[in-house]
Homo-oligomer: A and B are copies of this chain.
Amino acid sequence: MNIGMPESDYPDIRGLHLFAEMSDEHFQTLMRGSYVQNFPPQIELITEGDPSDFLHVVLSGSVELFSSWNNRETSMATVRPISTFILAATIKEAPYLMSARTLEKSRIALIPSQDVRKVFDTDSGFARAIVTELAQCYRTVVKSQKDLKLRTSLERLANYILRCQRHAGGGDTFDLGYEKRRLASILGMTPENLSRAFKGLHPYGVQVKGRNVSIRSQKDLEQFAKPDRLIDDYSS
């Protein structure tokens, strides 16, 4: 493990909202104590319950956040570049609530939590950015909670597909972002049930071949899914 981050990674991290507004001096302080590492797929980076020693930044690849209880496991979220995870645990100096594993070969920056807290106390630009980021995280989980409590699995899938489409640019054919077994867990269902749910959307013009989805009738699908900006909008 190499201490100190390669300067070539600085711009990527500096470009994050979270680090954009802070002073150069404080940014250097953070970077000096940080690591960057490449991980193969399926490596467990952190385990829920452990103390939060590092704020993590996904530079490339992707990371799954998941949780377990009583021998069951569920996928909570996916982190894609360039963004951070477990910010709340870092700030609160509390144990992680979720575990994290790489989904693919990933490059991850590790910033010591105590440095983050120290700079946070002295750099108001950084503090503001953290607030914004946390508020965003909070609202994302609330939306996800509404999705879970107010919709059936078929409705969740339909809306997931529409979000996916929007994210991909709005065309009528695009890639499902996940392996199906993982998507099932994210949507809170079993792989078998997901398989059937895709069939259940066939009457609304949804065709699936492997990871590829095509939407035959935008109108029918939307009429069924009833997307809602207070659940399905990523931006606000």
- Measured CB to CB, the residues of A under 8 A from B are 48-49, 67-70, 72-74, 76, 87-89, 91-92, 94-95, 97-98, 120-121, 124, 127-128, 130-132, 134-139, 141-146, 148-151, 188, 226, 228-231, 236
Contact = CB atoms under 8 A, between A and B. Distances in A.
A132 to B, nearest CB: 7
B88 A151 contact: no
Contacts of A88: 134-135, 138-139, 142
Given A49-B230, A132-B92, A144 B145 contact: yes
Q: How many copies make up the complex?
A: 2
B94 A139 contact: yes
Nearest to A146: B67
Given A131-B127, A135-B88, A145 B145 contact: yes
B94 A150 contact: no
B97 A150 contact: no
Contacts of A139: 88-89, 92, 94, 97
A134 B131 CA distance: 7
A142 B89 CA distance: 11
